[in-house]
Amino acid sequence: MENLDELRDDLLSQVKAADLEALEDLRVLALGRSGTITEMVKGIGQLKPEDRRSAGQQLNVLKNTIADAIDARKEVLEAEALDAGLAADRIDVTLPQRPASAGRIHPISQTIDEMVAIFCEMGFTVAEGPHIETDFNNFTALNIPPEHPARQDHDTFYLPAGEDGERKVLRTHTSPVQIRTMVNEKPPIRIVVPGRTFRADHDATHSPMFHQIEGLVIDKATHMGHLRGCLEEFCRAFFDVDDLPVRFRPSYFPFTEPSAEVDIGCSREGGGLKIGAGAEWLEILGCGMVNPRVLENCGINPMQYQGFAFGLGIERAAMLKYGIPDLRTFYDSDIRWLKHYGFVPLDVPNVAAGLVG
């Protein structure tokens, strides 16, 4: 035990010189399970009984001295490492920032915006109505009375009957907003109505929820020439084809008389669809002169006022214009689909990036 002081001094000088790794080795060598000091403690049993007590005390002091020295050194080294790390760590403020992800505009929203912009330029304003409608607004006032065959075509979602026994419906088209507007406003009326519509129908070309845009013009002398001009101009502006062939084909809707369907010229040569070229026709919307019975149902005198109405499906128009092949993908909420078919929002100046000049 004579060499304890020497051993202590030797260990302390090693601790002083050690880095973090060497310090741990040192701890194991001196204080570990078979470390120098540990072995000496184990050897106490071999000493003469009268020497054991003081040897035990001395070794204990030595053990604590070394352990404390190692802890103290470790603290210093760790603090130094942290300081060095912080000193070396630099934020490069001149790096260009990562572009902010701005999201995409859904093709349905984009198509509605485009259509509304075209009609607003012509002097229309936007009107809206509720998704849950009365049977009167959705059917009866539009000259689709009970038992009328047109009701069967609509695959209507009915709500449970209310206290008065009336069954409301999820509107099957945007046409009830015509009724609401004519009941509540005096002519002249010039509205477009974009919105959701509902029919119990689901396959590759039908979805139980879809969108339509409706138009209504009521004035004293509005005639079919206006209807024709308005819709021709709309089709050409929407599909961005100046000489787009547009034809009006006689048809039937209970709420218009006469009624027509509007076709646009296209070609399907070579498999793809090309709008505006070729000898084929593609149906795009329904329209007509508002049936005098509908005007009467809304309290408008058909001897004084007349007008036209039209309606078309937004999804179908979007699919045609933007080459989207499957209707169902509109509602899948697939972010990759939206990145592909969606529209970049208007670029707003990025203030965080700094203003130049």
Q: Which is nearer to ligand DAH, 30 or 287 (CB)?
A: 287
Give the residue with the Cβ less far from ligand DAH, 18 or 179.
Answer: 179
CB of 149 to ligand DAH, least distance (A): 14
77 vs 151: CA distance, rounded Å:
85
**Angle separating helix axes 107-121 and 314-322, nearest 10 degrees:** 100
Assigned token pair, 21: 């790794």
Q: How far is the CB of 157 from ligand DAH (least distance, A)?
A: 14
Phi/psi at 218 (nearest 5 deg)?
-130, 125
Per the DSSP assignment, residues forming a β-bridge with 218 are: 189, 307
Q: What is the DSSP letter of 45?
A: G
Task: Write down the least CB distance from residue 276 to ligand DAH, Å.
Answer: 23
| Separation CA 200–CA 207 (nearest Å) | 8
In sequence order, which residues have a C-beta less than 8 Å from that of residue 53 and are 6 or more positions away? none
| CB of 26 or CB of 264, closer to ligand DAH | 264
Smallest gap from residue 312 Cβ to ligand DAH (A): 7
Q: Which lies closer to ligand DAH via its Cβ, residue 187 or residue 338?
A: 187
Residue with tokens 């707003």: 348
CA 338 from chain centre, in angstroms, equals 8
Which is nearer to ligand DAH, 239 or 253 (by Cβ)? 253
Nearest-approach distance from CB 114 to ligand DAH, in angstroms: 19
Nearest approach, Cβ of residue 310 and ligand DAH (Å) = 5
Closest approach, Cβ 190 to ligand DAH, in A, equals 14
Closer Cβ to ligand DAH, 238 or 310, answer by number: 310
Residue (110 or 174) nearer to ligand DAH, CB: 174
Q: 168-200 burial by CB neighbour count: b if 16+ within 10 A, else e?
A: bbbbbbbbbbbbbbbeeeebebbbbbbbebbbe
**Closest residue to ligand DAH using C-beta atoms:** 311
Give 173's DSSP letter.
S
Whether omega for the bond prior to residue 146 falls within 30 degrees of 0, making it cis, is no
User: Which residues of this chain interact with ligand DAH, rule CB under 6 A?
Assistant: 173, 175, 214, 253, 256, 286-288, 309-311
